[in-house]
Amino acid sequence: MMNIIISGHGAFSTGLLDALHMIFGTDESIVAVPFYKNEGIPQLQEKYLHVMEQFDPTDELLFLVDLFGGTPYNAATQLVYTREKTDVVTGVSLPLLLEAAAMKETLSLSHLCQALKEASTTSVQLFSETLALVQTNEMEDDLL
């Protein structure tokens, strides 16, 4: 089994979890850990450890955090050194979280991390490019 901890600055992680629940329903293996003003790495790690105590220590664990090099990232990476089958992915967004939730039961941690890295490149779309592609395809269809 794989567990996921979402974290980021402010209430970002709780908002993502709320959106996930709206779309997928509740999943007890995915937990949000917010990082608030006046907290530092020790306080955030304490919150991470509290959540981690609820999970089976033999399960895989993925941290999805907002920013590379930010406090949620730094706190998580320090814990990765002390726990096997754990990794950190930065740049969490709702599309990335949905991908992780959908694939966490079928992929290993390393494969899931690679899939999320690949998915992140397609999660940003420009309407103008999509519209131009549709219009081009319609023009091609008219020519046939």
Instruction: For residue 9, indicate whether it is catalytic.
Output: yes
Please write down the HEC assignment for all residues of 16-76.
Answer: HHHHHHHHHCCCCCEEEEEECCCCCHHHHHHHHHHHHCCCCCCCEEEEEECCCCCHHHHHH
Are the CB atoms for 97 and 24 separated by under 8 Å?
Answer: no
Catalytic position from the list 9, 21, 50, 111: 9
Max CA separation in the chain (angstroms): 65
Which residues form the catalytic set? 9
